[in-house]
Structure 1
Amino acid sequence: LSTHAKMLFSHAKTLRLHTGNLVSRSRLKKKCPSSPSEELQDCIQATLSDWFSAVKPQSKDFPDTLDCSIPQETDAITPEEREELKVSVKLFLCEPVQSSISDAVQMACQTLAVSQLDSVIIAPPGPLEGNGQTLAHLQPAWEELEALVRSQQIAAIGTSDLDKDLLEQLYNWAQVKPSSNQVNLASCCVMPPDLTAFAKEFDIQLLTHNDSKELISAATFREAVREGTQDADIGDWRLEWVLRYSIIVKSRGIIKAKGYLVSASKASP
């Protein structure tokens, strides 16, 4: 492995990683990962490993933010095709860092070469004890999303795993109303009737998902980084957020591209 890449890695304080389009990536270890978590772990490892072998020593300076992506794997959208495509995003916050939502949205817009994301669904970091999310727990993230809607960086915003009571509380409090709510199929095979009725009345789309409560654990993330860099001595990286995007051809409803953006920071020694 390149010594230069290792030095870049040990110098950096922030890591930004873009997996590139998974629809066209044949290099992933598992052709059919069993879960989104396994897919993400595989992607992080493959991207780091490719980046490490491709990096060329260019200059003597070592940036604080390390951008790990494979240039030929980008998913930039051309202005001509933008009208025909829908860009939808799910953002998993791993730590309650306030600026992380706008950072993630900005990085997605830059990576995909668009000025606006069509929809963003937020999965806030869950409280560790019990299952209970509260409105107070959701509000800071929602206010940040609302600001991004006002600045036209996002067209529609949605939530994940809210029951009817919490969705109703959010709806009544929010200035920009949730346009969708994702329900985990593992937790219920049938949509709860009260949730269905509320969503129908207020025109909220109910979607299903199969993401685990914690998309990737801190230990699994560190393991993926270690395997991707083939080195145990690369510092203690903590995951800040993971953004998964899908680019859908509106007229045909097919996924043209999908990938992950990941941000991590190095824990201070």
Structure 2
Amino acid sequence: MSSSTTLPESIKQVIIHTGNILSLNGIIGKPSQNASEELVESIKITLNDGNNLENSLEKFVEVMRKNDDLLQKMSGVDRKDLKIGAKLFLNNENADAVNQALLNIFQALKTETIDNLIVSYNDIKTDNEESSSSFVLNKIKSIWNILENYTKENATNRIIHLGVADLDEEQFRDLYAWATVKPNIIQINLASCCVVPPTLQEFCNQNSIQLLTHSDPTEILPVSSIQNLFGDKNALKLFWAIRFQIHIKCRGVLTSKGYIVNLCDNILEE
């Protein structure tokens, strides 16, 4: 496998479906491998197995693994016996990013509903921009407004439970008080918060909120990783990424896991 894939200048957007990475040898269970490294390795294998991009004249390409067993894994189990969870990684509050990511996940999994979706917003500051707690929270509220449209409270019932990652206690309480559809889940990265505040634990207990921990990096796919994948001359940036995990409910077995990633050329500046 080549160390990087050369992209023609014509390509301005790439959507990559890794499929079920549990079926890929060497991806799962590597010592000290974080989610970003796992994603990069999965993309490398997908690019090697998927479309030949080097001679493409298209502006938009979609890359999928040819030998993916995702739908096969799902077809043997009744949908009601599956629990589908997803985590949406964003560094912007663009409504197209949210809607595209959800459309792709529903289509890829051939499902009408997701049991839970957690949104992870990574604030990308420019040289002239200062970020604050309220600034970040307002970005998340914009994203939350869009996600609420997919819940049963808005009659679509496509997402059963909504959650959020990496808010501090004050931000989370503010979001909870403001939101029409209350978050059912909060994810905390123990790398940045060694001990969960007792007051947050109490608040979650009182409001039936799942308090979970995670070890995902702040940036799921940094620019340096994209350059390693496609060369340092490409202008692609992460528009959105979504990770899915599918469990068999009765046994608690993880049967499938994968990523869908949208990389765009300068779309965030438009």
Shorter-normalised TM range: 0.7 to 0.9
Q: Structure 2 vs 1, CA of residues 190 and 154 (structure 1 numbering), >3 Å: closer, same or farther?
A: same
1:216 equivalent to 2:221? Answer yes
Residues 1-269 of structure 1 aligned to structure 2 (within 5 Å) = 10-26=9-25, 28=27, 31-32=30-31, 34-52=33-51, 62-76=57-71, 77-78=74-75, 81-126=78-123, 128=125, 129=130, 132=133, 134-149=136-151, 150=154, 151-226=156-231, 235-267=234-266
Q: Deviations over 1:122-172 (max 9, x none)?
A: 011325356735432211100010012232221111000122211111111
**Structure 1 residues 28 and 50: alpha-carbon distance in aligned structure 2, compared to 1, 3 A threshold:** farther
CA-CA distance at 1:96 after TM superposition: 3.2
SS where residue 67 of structure 1 aligns? strand
Distance in 2 (alpha carbons) for counterparts of 1:146 and 1:168: 17
What secondary structure is seen at the aligned counterpart in 1 of 2:49?
A: helix
Deviations 1:167-224 (A, max 9, x none): 1111111011001000111123321111101111111100110011112211212212
Q: Deviations over 1:48-104 (max 9, x none)?
A: 122246x8x9xxx95432110113215223385211111100010033322111110
Find the residue that maps to 2:230 and give its secondary structure.
helix
Question: For the Cα contact (< 8 Å) 2:91–2:124, is it kept in 1?
Answer: no
Q: Which letter maps to 2:133?
A: G
Name whichever of 78-87 and 107-116 sits farther off: 78-87
CA distance in structure 2 between the aligned counterparts of 1:38 and 1:21, rounded to whole angstroms: 16
- Quick one: which amino acid aligns to residue 192 of structure 1? P
Name stretches of at least 5 consecutive residues in structure 2 with no aligned partner: none
Residue aligned with 1:103, SS: helix
Q: Return structure 1 stretches of 4+ with deviation > 4 angstroms.
A: 27-33
What is the alpha-carbon distance in structure 1 between the residues aligned to residue 212 and residue 118 of structure 2? 11
Q: Which amino acid aligns with 2:45?
A: A
Separation of aligned partners in 2, 1:249 and 1:157: 20
The 1:95/1:74 distance shift into structure 2, 3 A limit, reads farther
Task: Give the SS at the match of 2:41.
Answer: helix
Q: Which amino acid aligns with 2:116?
A: S
Specify every segment of 5 or more residues in structure 1 that has no aligned partner in the other structure, as ranges: 227-231
Contact 2:50-2:66 at 8 Å conserved across structures: no
Would the alpha carbon gap of residues 221 and 127 (structure 1) be closer, same or farther in structure 2, given more than 3 Å must change? Answer: closer
Alpha carbons of 1:64 and 1:122: their partners in 2 closer, same or farther (altered >3 Å)? same
